[in-house]
Amino acid sequence: MDEYLQNRSLPIWASLTRLRTELHRDVQGIYYGYSPALELAFEQQGPFWGRHYLFWHHGQPLTLIYEVFSPYLTRYLGNMLSGK
């Protein structure tokens, strides 16, 4: 990864895009649930959506990404469970 993430202050996707790295994203799991640690971090009550996926490059796994989506997205997307 050091070859691809030369500036670690940039988001991973920005670094890989700058280098025009050809990638395949392989989603391994999608999550929906509660986490006291995430509630503290986001200062919002759950539930939270998350996912993890592998980035592949030239047939080899490059890195595993685990991400949790900010609950603030509901301000733009709406609350998908309540239908509002």
pLDDT in tens, 1-22: 566 566 666 667 666 666 566 6
Structural domains in the chain (count): 1
Question: Does some domain include residue 72?
Answer: yes
Give the pLDDT band (50/70/90) at residue 37.
very high
| Strand, helix or coil for residue 21 | coil
CB-based burial of residue 33 (10 Å sphere; 0-12 exposed, 13-18 middle, 19+ buried)? exposed
> Does residue 29 belong to any structural domain of this protein?
yes
Q: How many CB atoms lie within 10 A of CB 64?
A: 11
Range of the domain at 60: 23-77
In a domain, 18, yes or no: no
Asked if the structure places residue 5 within a domain, the reply is no
**Which residue in 84, 21, 16 sits closest to 8, CA to CA?**
16
Q: Is 45 inside any structural domain? A: yes
pLDDT at residue 75 above 60? yes
What's the mean pLDDT in 28-43?
A: 94
Q: Is residue 17 part of a domain?
A: no
Confidence of residue 82 (pLDDT cuts 50, 70, 90): low
- Mean per-residue pLDDT for 40-59? 89
